[in-house]
Amino acid sequence: MKKVFIAILCLSMGAVAANAQDKKTPAPAPAPAAAPQQAVPTGPVVDPDAGEFKFKEETHDFGEIPEGPLGETDFEFKNTGKKPIVISDAHGSCGCTVPTWPKEPILPGKKGMIHVAYTTNGRQGPIMKDVTINSNAKQSPMVLHIRGTVKPKPAAPATTGTVTPTPAH
């Protein structure tokens, strides 16, 4: 009984598919006479007077750093725009990269600092992480980078299992 039902189902699906192939779709209606094209905005409108980040460096290379202590650096910037920069958020590309940013507006001509701490413990090998800054500046989001290599902790000296006696008093 199941075989008959499956055979009928397959035949009816095949008939529907074949019938669908025979139907022709009507040709699209001709386009109306060409109207003058209007400019379409390509992205968000940026205020020409908005604040503007000018970083001393956008990539920090730690070089070789030991495993264990935090790798820390500061990205210094100046607002070269005409309006204050307000940073709404900054986040690392993973939980091991934690930025701290100024909560107050950075006025035009003034400097600010983004502090970045990278957890090296348990992360031997190359570092290639990003920090994304969201703000009202012209360059938003702004992406900063940290690079380097975490060298493994030195091996602990082997113990021989002997106990050194303590002198009696």
Tell me the per-residue pLDDT of 30-48, one tens digit each, with 9 for 90 and over: 555 555 555 555 555 677 8
pLDDT per residue as tens digits for the range 88-103: 999 999 889 999 999 9
Percent of the residues in the chain that have a pLDDT greater than 70, as a whole number:
65
In contact, 68 and 105? CB cutoff 8 Å: no
pLDDT per residue as tens digits for the range 122-153: 889 999 999 999 999 988 899 999 999 999 88
Instruction: Share the mean pLDDT of the chain.
Output: 80
In this prediction, residue 6 has a pLDDT band, given cuts at 50, 70 and 90, of low
Q: Under DSSP, is residue 128 helix (H, G, I), strand (E, B) or coil?
A: strand
What is the secondary structure of 34-67 as a DSSP string?
A: PPPPPPPP-S----TTS--EEES-SEEEEEEEES
In contact, 12 and 5? CB cutoff 8 Å: no
Domains of the chain: 53-151 (2.60.40.10)
- 163, two tokens: 């106990």
According to DSSP, residue 149 is labeled: E
**pLDDT higher than threshold 60 for residue 20:** no
The CA distance from 136 to 133, in Å, is 10
- 154, two tokens: 């030195």
pLDDT of residue 47: 79
